[in-house]
């Protein structure tokens, strides 16, 4: 620890607050969940979630498709050809299996894995393909986590990002990410700690710095294609 010592620093804060020793604050008394909006009434909760997430994610400029698990390779192949992509970076995930790899290769698409070199990643990969840990209905956000399965840079460096999200991972609101079993659950013993980097992605990279004109694809991907997997 550099700079001021911990005790002197904390002492300064305490004396500013007019306290002489440590204090235990009471619980915050407000109800934070008044900000949570209920899902529209529907007999089928899952389809309501899917519908609302699709609407919100589309509003912020991401594309959303809903597909059956077995139709994933078919869809990916079509999308990759349509986008004229020649090299993809594939994370490691049961959803991105060897069958998919074979299909892509048979169409002449180069596949890089997590051991991709930096030069190749920056200069040659057209699209990162990863799997989201969760997605938030209230804000239309994807939740990406650092892990042993995919690179943080896979969803950032290539100009396009394709993300698979099993529909079972849709959560209603930001609050749910820190509830038991969520990616930000730091309390329950089973959680094993929070990943070092959790990123909520809510739209393609964008700026309006020059005269307020909206430009997408500034530093990160300009295209974000989401595939909800049933």
Sites for other proteins among residues 126-185 (CB under 8 A):
138-141, 146-153, 156, 173-175, 177-178, 184
Q: Which two tokens stand for residue 121?
A: 């990643």
How many CA atoms lie within 13 Å of 77's alpha carbon, on the beta-carbon side? 15
Q: Which two tokens stand for residue 138?
A: 């209230």
Angstrom distance (rounded) from CA 35 to CA 21 = 35
The site for other proteins, by CB under 8 A, has a size of 80
Of 39-47, 80-88, 96-104, 194-202, which segment contacts other proteins by CB under 8 A? 194-202
**69, 188, 207, 230: which one contacts other proteins (CB under 8 A)?**
207
Asked if 199 contacts 144 with a C-beta cutoff of 8 angstroms, the reply is: yes
Cβ distance to other proteins smaller for residue 17 or 70: 17
Please choose, from the candidates 98, 166, 105, 93, the residue with its C-alpha nearest in 3D space to the C-alpha of residue 130: 93
Q: Which two tokens stand for residue 93?
A: 């995930």
* Nearest-approach distance from CB 204 to other proteins, in angstroms: 7
User: Which 36-65 positions form the footprint of other proteins (CB under 8 A)?
Assistant: 37, 56, 60
**54, 205, 223, 225: which one contacts other proteins (CB under 8 A)?**
205
User: Which 91-110 positions form the footprint of other proteins (CB under 8 A)?
Assistant: none
Contact residues for 59 (Cβ-Cβ < 8 A; gap 6+): 140
* Nearest-approach distance from CB 115 to other proteins, in angstroms: 9
């Amino acid at each position: 620890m550099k700079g001021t010592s911990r005790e002197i620093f904390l002492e300064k804060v305490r004396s500013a607050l007019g306290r002489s020793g440590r204090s235990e604050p009471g619980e915050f008394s407000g109800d934070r969940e008044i900000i949570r909006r209920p899902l529209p009434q529907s007999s089928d909760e899952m389809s309501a979630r899917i519908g609302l997430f699709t609407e919100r994610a589309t509003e912020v400029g991401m594309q959303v498709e809903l597909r059956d698990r077995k139709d994933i390779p078919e869809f990916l192949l079509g999308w990759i050809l349509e986008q004229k992509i020649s090299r993809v970076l594939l994370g490691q995930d049961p959803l991105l299996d060897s069958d998919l790899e074979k299909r892509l290769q048979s169409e002449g698409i180069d596949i890089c894995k997590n051991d991709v070199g930096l030069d190749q990643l920056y200069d040659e990969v057209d699209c990162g393909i990863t799997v989201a840990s969760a997605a938030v209905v209230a804000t239309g956000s994807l939740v990406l986590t650092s892990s042993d399965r995919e690179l943080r840079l896979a969803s950032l460096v290539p100009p396009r990002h394709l993300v698979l999200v099993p529909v079972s991972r849709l959560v209603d609101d930001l609050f749910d990410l820190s509830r038991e079993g969520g990616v930000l659950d730091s309390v329950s013993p089973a959680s094993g700690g929070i990943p070092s980097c959790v990123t909520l992605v809510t739209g393609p990279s964008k700026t309006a710095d020059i005269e307020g004109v909206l430009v997408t694809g500034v530093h990160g991907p300009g295209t974000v294609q989401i595939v909800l997997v049933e």
